[in-house]
Amino acid sequence: MALKTIPSFSIKKKWQKWRILYDDEAIDNPVVSKKRLRIAAVGGGDIGIRNANSIRAARAAELVAVCDIDPEVIRDLAKRYDVPAIADYERLLARSDVDAVLLSIPHYLHTQMALQAALAKKHVLLEKPLATNSQEATKIVEACRTAGVRLTINFSFRYRPAIELARLLIKDDTLGKISGTQINLFQLKGAKYWAGGFTGRASGDWRKSKEKAGGGVLIITICHALDYLRYCTGLEVTRAFSEYGTYASPTEVEDAIAMSYQYDNGAIGSIASSTFWHADKRDEVIIWGTHGSLRIEENNVLRLWSSRRWRTLVPGKEHLLGDFPQVDYTSKWIDRFARAVENGLPHEITDKDGWINNAVIEAAYRSRDHGRALSVDSFPWQEPG
Amino acid sequence: MKETLKRYKSRFPPFLGRLGAGIWKSLETPLGALLEHRAILKGHRIVWPVAEVADFESALLLGPTSSDALVQVDFTLISPGTERAQLQGLAGNNFPYHPGYSGCGEVISIGKNITRFRKRDRVAGRIPHKSPATVQEQYLFRIPDNVSLEQAAFIELGIIVLQGIHKAQIQPGESALVLGQGLIGQLTNRLSRLAGAAPIIAVARSRAKEKIAVNAWGADKFLTTDELNEAGPSDGYDVVIETTGDANILPIAAGFARKGGRVIGLGTPRGRGRISLGQNGARPGVRITGAHISGIPQYERSAGLWTYQSEGHLFLDLLARHKLMLDDLISQKVDPAAANGVYESLLSNDPGIIGVLFDWRAYRPQRMKSPFKG
């Protein structure tokens, strides 16, 4: 397949061009069994609405109910979706027409509500992060494993075309041995955000609280990049150190952080981030190896330099790879999970992915108080195979 | 023309420079064909776009001028030391660069001024890593019938070593110390033996190449650099031949030459070295001779200075008479499309790389219908 950096103006051509990224069962076998995973969307904030829409867009899933405790929000949900809008979570869990719940709720409620769902034998789709800390994360994983229900975390950035392509490029050895990664995230999260999210749709200032949110920019936002770097490179962070603080935001969690870490292959990495950045947003992830480098830029553009040829991309030159098709990556996460459940196959983003993400973040947070890098705990459960 | 382009690029901002270079790249071949009345051919070549990166590409190439032969290339040989240094940019930042200078093939067309060759002649000579290649007559040699194409592809490296051996003026029974056991070092062992040197001591950093160096047609003994330093110079050697291209080895080499001995600098030195003469340095009367191929005469020869043509004929003659063994020096025969990986191995100093031949036989040239055809 010829990859060119020139834009393709036809949507069909665009899909053909990037077909390489989606040679999965969803495309090869578009026929879905009549039975679809019946999911209830819990939480009606900004993310809850997006997730409910994504359930509806997923071919293998079906939105069967919505739930929120806020009367105003529940009224709005009832208007938006022609499914039962339920204020009582326990009543929702008692329904037999619900196979799974997608929890888009404040971090501190993850443990309690995921545990309730597991007890009610409902599969759990959980917004990131898995929990506010490793201890809570362990409780959730344990409960789901004991109840025999599946648990997945919304690290759906993995399904963004740029990330899928980055993974493919690394898998095809265009970068050689990975020797480092870097995450730079600078954006503005003003007083309004800390008081109730970007739009203030669901009020609540839980984000300000270390106890309720688990932390600031690292656990709220950078957890995504930590996850997809792990997904792309296949490397595990083994130790981490960070310095962080609250400098200019009305919150007790960190609004700026500098972190360094090491991977299990000896590669190094660093993070620099601030959420009181008034200039243009800067969101960039860099991966470099012995034979090339990749820059993943915010607007879904990849810059590849490699000393090795990859398909039609000549070596020794920086290639700008963009022009990706629009993908509802949240819907793709839900769809893949639903397909796996319906077909009795392993699903992709697992409890292990969520737990490890929490463990890295926890090591980083605790390292500041110890004044030295801390080892990241290993996933305590044995994986099949 | 290249100089004009360089001047042009330096005068404009980078993006205009890049644009201009792009336009120039697309026009270079048709313009050349038009102005010089040359044909355009579809061919393949190895290119180094920037330092430390190699690629294989199909390209439009210019046909021969009236004094060129057009050669459909069968094999080209990597010259490991030179090409590694060039690829690393140690020999100047001349990228993009089209490497290679030793190969063989078949003449498929000749310019009107060519008298020594005819179509379908098997030839070897100064041929780059591309097919087809246009080569001036003075850099080509007809391959004797009983010499294989693979052996003939060593021609330029053979000439490089032979002119060094001639400059060393080796007498029968003189001891020779050969520093470095890359491809040039291996050829030096063998051609020194033919010149009558005995014993021949091969020296390298590791023992990786001992087996290939010490045999009935090569060196008599192998020493690692540590062993050599431990043993010390004793009385020294009659001839010390430096083949590594490391400028810091030349002074060490001088220390191993006997009183009145000769040191031959066969490798192209990269960087600077410092030679200490007198006490604790070289012994009295040591003669240090630079033996780079660029010093070879084109037209006349004397006792110590053979011409390029005479060295080339001698090399092929030695092969034809089975005096020189090369087959064991061919470590790999590779498809040029795999050049990227081969040069990666070369850069990583892979000890498995000795004589690497690119096999171009799957890439036959195609003549394009061109309004500019001469």
| pLDDT tens, position by position, A335-347 | 999 999 998 999 9
10 Å CB burial of residue A196 (0-12, 13-18, 19+) is middle
Q: Give the distance from residue B343's alpha carbon to the nearest chain A alpha carbon, in angstroms.
A: 11
> What is the domain partition of chain B in residue ranges?
1-36, 38-154+334-367, 157-320
What are the strands of the beta sheet with B237-242, ordered from one edge? B221-224, B200-204, B176-179, B237-242, B257-265, B287-290
What are the strands of the beta sheet with A85-86, ordered from one edge? A85-86, A61-67, A37-42, A100-103, A123-126, A151-153
The answer to whether residue A66 scores a pLDDT higher than 70 is: yes
- All residues of chain B having their beta carbon less than 8 Å from the beta carbon of residue A317 are 49-50
pLDDT at A34: 67
CB contact under 8 A, A316 and B340: no
Q: Are residues A223 and A314 located together in one domain of the fold? A: yes
10 Å CB burial of residue A384 (0-12, 13-18, 19+) is exposed
pLDDT at B371: 47
pLDDT at B93: 76
Let me know if residue A338 belongs to a domain. no
The last residue of a domain, from among A123, A156, A189: A156
Share of chain B above pLDDT 90, in %: 61
β-partners of residue B214 are B219
pLDDT at A1: 42
Q: Which of A122-126, A201-205, B242-246, B347-351 has the highest mean pLDDT?
A: A122-126
Rounded (10°) CA dihedral A9, A12, A17, A21: 130
Q: Give the distance from residue A313's alpha carbon to the nearest chain B alpha carbon, in angstroms.
A: 11
- All residues of chain B having their beta carbon less than 8 Å from the beta carbon of residue A291 are 344
Query: What is the arithmetic mean of pLDDT over A30-49?
Result: 85
Residue B301 to residue B134: CA distance in whole angstroms: 27
The last residue of a domain, from among A156, A190, A221: A156
**Tens of pLDDT along B2-55?**
566 566 656 666 666 667 777 777 787 788 778 878 888 899 999 999 999 999
CB contact under 8 A, B55 and A316: yes
pLDDT band at B372 (very low <50, low <70, confident <90, very high): very low
Task: Spell out a b/e string for B6-29, using b for 16 or more CB atoms within 10 Å of the CB, else e.
Answer: eeeeeeeeeeeeeeebeebeeeeb
Residue written as token pair 């709005």:
A76
CATH superfamily of B157-320: NAD(P)-binding Rossmann-like Domain (3.40.50.720)
N- to C-terminal Cα separation, chain A: 35
**Tens of pLDDT along A183-229?**
999 999 998 888 887 777 766 789 999 999 999 999 999 999 999 99
Beta strand pairing status for A151-153 and A123-126? parallel
User: Any chain A CB within 8 A of the CB of B248?
Assistant: no
Residue in A with minimal Cα distance to B96: A316
10 Å CB burial of residue A199 (0-12, 13-18, 19+) is exposed
- What is this structure's pTM? 0.85
pLDDT band at B367 (very low <50, low <70, confident <90, very high): low
Q: Are residues A362 and A240 located together in one domain of the fold? A: yes
CB contact under 8 A, A291 and B344: yes
Let me know if residue A258 belongs to a domain. yes
Residue in B with minimal Cα distance to A173: B341
The last residue of a domain, from among A129, A156, A183: A156
Q: Which residues contact B116 (CB under 8 A, 6 or more apart)?
A: B137, B140, B142
What does pLDDT average to over chain B? 88
Query: What is the arithmetic mean of pLDDT over A145-155?
Result: 97
pLDDT at A264: 97
The answer to whether residue B258 scores a pLDDT higher than 60 is: yes
Residue A63 to residue A84: CA distance in whole angstroms: 10
The answer to whether residue A112 scores a pLDDT higher than 70 is: yes
Going by C-alpha positions, the residue among B77, B70, B74 that lies closest to residue B101 is: B77
Query: What is the arithmetic mean of pLDDT over B65-72?
Result: 92
Share of chain A above pLDDT 90, in %: 81
Q: Please check whether residue A175 is in contact with residue A304, taking contact to mean a CB–CB distance below 8 angstroms.
A: no
Going by C-alpha positions, the residue among A357, A319, A335 that lies closest to residue A225 is: A357
The answer to whether residue A2 scores a pLDDT higher than 50 is: no
Residue in A with minimal Cα distance to B49: A316
Please say whether the dihedral angle defined by the alpha carbons of residues B46, B49, B51 and B52, taken in this order, is positive or negative.
negative
Task: Spell out a b/e string for A220-232, using b for 16 or more CB atoms within 10 Å of the CB, else e.
Answer: bbbbbbbbbbbbb
Share of chain B above pLDDT 70, in %: 90
- All residues of chain A having their beta carbon less than 8 Å from the beta carbon of residue B48 are 316
CB contact under 8 A, B49 and A308: no
Query: What is the arithmetic mean of pLDDT over B258-286?
Result: 78
Q: Are residues A211 and A142 located together in one domain of the fold? A: no
Q: Please check whether residue B70 is in contact with residue B114, taking contact to mean a CB–CB distance below 8 angstroms.
A: no
Q: Are residues A179 and A318 located together in one domain of the fold? A: yes
Q: Please check whether residue A121 is in contact with residue A149, taking contact to mean a CB–CB distance below 8 angstroms.
A: yes
pLDDT at B253: 85
Asked whether the bond before A315 is cis by omega within 30 degrees of 0, the reply is: no
- All residues of chain B having their beta carbon less than 8 Å from the beta carbon of residue A314 are 49, 55, 57
B interface test, pick of A305, A309, A317 with most B CB neighbours within 10 Å? A309
> Among A297-301, B86-90, B200-204, where is mean pLDDT lowest?
A297-301
Residue B153 to residue B101: CA distance in whole angstroms: 10
Residue written as token pair 């009020």:
A203
Identify the CATH number of the domain in which residue A46 sits. 3.40.50.720
Residue in A with minimal Cα distance to B52: A307
Q: Give the distance from residue B55's alpha carbon to the nearest chain A alpha carbon, in angstroms.
A: 7
pLDDT at A245: 97
Q: Give the distance from residue B241's alpha carbon to the nearest chain A alpha carbon, in angstroms.
A: 35
pLDDT band at A13 (very low <50, low <70, confident <90, very high): low
CB contact under 8 A, B49 and A317: yes
N- to C-terminal Cα separation, chain B: 21
pLDDT at B374: 42
Residue A195 to residue B26: CA distance in whole angstroms: 59
Let me know if residue A38 belongs to a domain. yes
| Residue of B50, B56, B344 lying closest to A316 (CB–CB) | B50
Query: What is the arithmetic mean of pLDDT over B326-354?
Result: 93
What does pLDDT average to over chain A? 91
A interface test, pick of B53, B98, B335, B345 with most A CB neighbours within 10 Å? B53
Q: Please check whether residue A165 is in contact with residue A5, taking contact to mean a CB–CB distance below 8 angstroms.
A: no
Write out the residues of chain A at the interface with chain B, using a CB-CB cutoff of 8 A. 291, 307-309, 314-317
Q: Please check whether residue A285 is in contact with residue A295, taking contact to mean a CB–CB distance below 8 angstroms.
A: yes
Q: How many domains does chain A have?
A: 2
Residue B21 to residue B19: CA distance in whole angstroms: 5
Q: Are residues A165 and A297 located together in one domain of the fold? A: yes
Query: What is the arithmetic mean of pLDDT over A102-108?
Result: 96
Q: Are residues A131 and A151 located together in one domain of the fold? A: yes
The answer to whether residue B269 scores a pLDDT higher than 80 is: no
Residue A287 to residue A36: CA distance in whole angstroms: 38
Residue A137 to residue A129: CA distance in whole angstroms: 9
Write out the residue range of the structural domain in which residue A148 sits. Answer: 23-156
Q: Give the distance from residue A283's alpha carbon to the nearest chain B alpha carbon, in angstroms.
A: 26
Q: Are residues A152 and A163 located together in one domain of the fold? A: no
B interface test, pick of A293, A307, A314 with most B CB neighbours within 10 Å? A307
The answer to whether residue A312 scores a pLDDT higher than 50 is: yes
Query: What is the arithmetic mean of pLDDT over A220-243?
Result: 98
Residue in B with minimal Cα distance to A290: B344
Task: Spell out a b/e string for B214-242, using b for 16 or more CB atoms within 10 Å of the CB, else e.
Answer: beeebbbebbeeeebeeeebeebbbbbbb
Let me know if residue A259 belongs to a domain. yes
Q: Are residues A61 and A205 located together in one domain of the fold? A: no
**Tens of pLDDT along B78-104?**
999 889 999 999 887 789 999 999 999
Residue A337 to residue A34: CA distance in whole angstroms: 16
CB contact under 8 A, B49 and A309: no
What token pair was written down for A129? 């992060």
Residue B238 to residue B174: CA distance in whole angstroms: 6
Q: Are residues A91 and A134 located together in one domain of the fold? A: yes
Q: Are residues A145 and A167 located together in one domain of the fold? A: no
Q: Are residues A164 and A281 located together in one domain of the fold? A: yes
Residue B89 vs residue A259, higher pLDDT = A259
- All residues of chain B having their beta carbon less than 8 Å from the beta carbon of residue A316 are 48-50, 53, 55
Please say whether the dihedral angle defined by the alpha carbons of residues B203, B205, B206 and B212, taken in this order, is positive or negative.
negative
Let me know if residue A10 belongs to a domain. no
Check: CATH 3.90.180.10 for B38-154+334-367? yes
Let me know if residue A385 belongs to a domain. no
Q: Which of residues 50-89 of B touch A (CB under 8 A)?
A: 50, 52-57
User: Any chain A CB within 8 A of the CB of B346?
Assistant: no
Query: What is the arithmetic mean of pLDDT over B176-184?
Result: 95
Going by C-alpha positions, the residue among B117, B94, B92, B97 that lies closest to residue B107 is: B117
- All residues of chain B having their beta carbon less than 8 Å from the beta carbon of residue A315 are 49, 53-55, 340
Q: Are residues A192 and A102 located together in one domain of the fold? A: no
